[in-house]
Amino acid sequence: VQALRNGDIDVYYNTLPTANDRLTLEAMPNVKTITKIGAGAYSHLDLRVSNAGGEKDTYTGPFAGNSQKAKDLRKAFLLATPRQQIVDTLIKPVKADAAPLDTQFSFYGTAEYKANTAASGVAEYSQGTQADRTAKALALVQKHFPSASDTNAPVKLTFLHANTTLRNAIAKLIIAEVAKAGFDVTDYASPDIFGLRDNRNSKYDVIMYRYSLNAISQASSTGNYRSDGSNNVFGWADADLDVILKSLEGDILTGKQITAKRLEADKIIIENA
């Protein structure tokens, strides 16, 4: 921004803008600021389930496997993640009509999105207030850690994300809220979470970065959840889900069938948190 102000550069492009970035740019003389939607990008959280993508290290953290305890703890973390607060505080000042994304298969506002998110079970993550959801999260944690409280956090987690102003701000909101549900989170902001394959490293329980929902094929996003999927860096593996995803990748389907299969997939994903 300083180089733009000095006239040393003609164009400045930011894919992770903050409200302050926008205000600073708009206040500069002789500069035109343009805000556009690009590439269908969105921030997402990966919760580690097992080792991923052929990595030899084995994940044994709180979220490991599909036991009821692991599912409860994953669900609790997701319930306590203040998605609406993140959108309202950090995203809407840049994009006024922003909203949390409730599926990775289709975009907000489409008929498929409305139908599938209404029936997948994901609505539980937006019902009531954030305080209600965090209290529900704490109750789930207390099933396995009775001493947990809004001031005692016995579940230790490590959170990896890019070291940018926006990602750091999102992480702070998440860490502060999940602490009330019994999660003690160590924040790890990296300048390059991909350079050393950190996003596949089992020492991290939670990872945040960007995906882009811009594929137009019926196989869109299947690689995120297929057990051998290229984007499955968190170790997801569910045989029933694999069958659905491979059908989306290989079968000739009608639009109605595609929507139905994506709903089947989302139900399994939500059920397993």
Would you state the pLDDT for residue 111? 92
Q: pLDDT-derived band of residue 273, with 50, 70 and 90 as boundaries?
A: very high
Write down the mean pLDDT value for the chain: 91
Would you state the pLDDT for residue 197? 65
Would you state the pLDDT for residue 232? 87
How far is residue 237's CA from residue 105's CA, in Å, rounded to a whole number? 18
115 or 22, which is more confident? 115
The CA-based diameter of the chain, rounded to the nearest angstrom, is: 60
Q: What is the pTM of this model?
A: 0.90
Min mean pLDDT across 30-44, 58-72, 175-189, 256-270 is at 30-44
Whether 54 has a pLDDT exceeding 60, the answer reads no
Would you state the pLDDT for residue 196? 58
Q: How many Cβ atoms are within 10 Å of 224's Cβ, its own excluded? A: 21
Whether 39 has a pLDDT exceeding 70, the answer reads no
Closest CA relative to residue 124, chosen from 140, 112, 108, 142:
140
Taking residues 204-222, report their average pLDDT.
Answer: 86
> Tokens for 210?
């960007």
